[in-house]
Amino acid sequence: MSFYIPIGPQHPVHPEPLLMKFKVEGEQVIDVEINVSYTHRGIEKGLEYRDYMKGIFLAERICGICNAAHTLCYVQNIEQLLNKEVPPRAKYLRLIVEELSRIHSHLLWLGLAAHQIGFETLFMYVWRDRERVLDLLEMITGNRVVTSYNTIGGVRRDITPEMEQKIRKGLDYLEKRTKYFKKVVMEEPTVLVRTQNVGILKPREAIELFAVGPVLRASSIKHDVRADDPYAAHDEVPFNVITYDTCDVYARILVRIDEVLECINMIRYSLDHLPSGKYRIRLPVVIKPPPGESVSRVEAPRGDLLHYVKSDGSDKPYRYKVRTPTLANIPSTARMLTSRGDYIVYIADIPIIFGSVDPCLCCTGRVMFVDVEKGKSWVWTYNELVKYSRERFERHD
């Protein structure tokens, strides 16, 4: 006897507009259908109506948390079209802000993951310490979250020696705290019991479904755009690509915590080797790139981000395409949430498994349907769903 449990589009488990319809037998999830069509905002169309400079601000609003990655990807694309090289200092400054926002995103996620397994103390600790990164971002860029830092031709603000000292101090604090969080995660039974052997995604499946980012690396595939296709100053700043091979939620937590530590080292290295000189080249306000096309990739906190632009020689993009990491991870999420063989998904594990991919629906807005039993379709309209729930309710009453 199987039942359907709808979670979302408004649900305490995940406060983002998303509908997950679970097919369950007893406590076991046997199928899931993910519907993410509640937030299509038409940004790709909107970018076609704006000139290149105004596009930066719209690209920034694709996702609040990964805004540094989105603007970086956008401006790189336009610079590639214009065939302009930014000054070396700007490359390092871009890297610093990008890595700071990665720390911010990963710590935010760690707090949410703790919240989803009911470990509220860790949630409070992590979010308190995350404020320190936001303070640093505010000092460098002027804004706590939406940084508006990258611009075509470089960055908007420079770092002074006083700021540099403050950043180093902040990083020391963050490193100490992150190491403590890692110890907590590795030793605390609450975390271990809830995350080990939960949400399995085998390496073969991760490649088959084109998973990206920390999800892919937690399935022991060594792929990171920063290493494989370096941009900004990533070809000069050394770092390790973190992988874990247990392929579960626990591995995804450790990958992110270790990435925070790597980010801290990268920022320190960049501050030590910060080139002098200009941080921006001035370009005309109205930019008219030659006709052509360009692909730009950035490792956003959630994974591989891809922007494509086609220019027809006018001051507005002819076509702008964004592929966000969460969209790429949706098929893998559906796989993690489906019981198969020895691997069983329980209802209580849904929040942390879904949370473990760090979903960000504001940048996605798309639908997924998984078909386990061939030839059987479970896509229902809203009315059918309402009818079904009423029938069920009456039968049990």
Partner 1 sequence: MNEEEIINALKERFGDKIIDCKTPMRRRVFVEVSKECYKDVVKFLLQDLDMKFVEAITGTDVNDHLEVIAHIGYGISVSVKTKVPKDDPVIDSICDIARGAELYEREAHDLLGIVFKGNPNLKRFILPEDWPEGVYPLRKDYEAKHPKPLR
In terms of Cα–Cα distance, which of 315, 325, 311 is closest to 362? 325
174 or 322, CB closer to partner 1?
322
- DSSP state, residue 285: S
Window 343 to 372, contacts with partner 1 (CB under 8 A): 365-369, 371
- CA distances to 32, 61, 193, 263 from 363, in Å: 21, 9, 32, 24
Q: How large is the angle between the packed helices 249-272 and 88-116, nearest 10 degrees? A: 150
In terms of Cα–Cα distance, which of 28, 24, 31, 13 is closest to 351? 13
Cis previous bond, 325, omega within 30: no
Q: How far is the CB of 40 from partner 1 (least distance, A)?
A: 5
Query: Which span sits near partner 1 by CB under 8 A: 107-115, 185-193, 350-358, 379-387?
Result: 379-387
Distance CA 17, CA 9 (A): 5
9 or 175, CB closer to partner 1?
9
With CB under 8 A as the contact rule, the residue among 44, 158, 164, 236 that binds partner 1 is 44
Q: Is 247 in the site for partner 1 (CB under 8 A)?
A: no
Query: Which span sits near partner 1 by CB under 8 A: 45-53, 193-201, 258-266, 338-346?
Result: 45-53
Distance CA 234, CA 48 (A): 30
Distance CA 47, CA 317 (A): 7
Q: How far is the CB of 295 from partner 1 (least distance, A)?
A: 5
Binding string to partner 1 for residues 196 to 235, with x set by CB under 8 A, is what?
-----------xxxxx-----------x----xx------
Binding string to partner 1 for residues 287 to 316, with x set by CB under 8 A, is what?
-----xxxx-x------x-x-x-x------
Strands 28-35 and 19-25, by their bridges, are antiparallel
Using CB under 8 A as the binding criterion, the count of chain residues that bind partner 1 stands at 47
* Contact set with partner 1 (CB under 8 A): 36-38, 40, 42, 44-46, 49-50, 54, 80, 207-211, 223, 228-229, 292-295, 297, 304, 306, 308, 310, 318-319, 321, 323, 327-328, 330-332, 365-369, 371, 379, 381-382
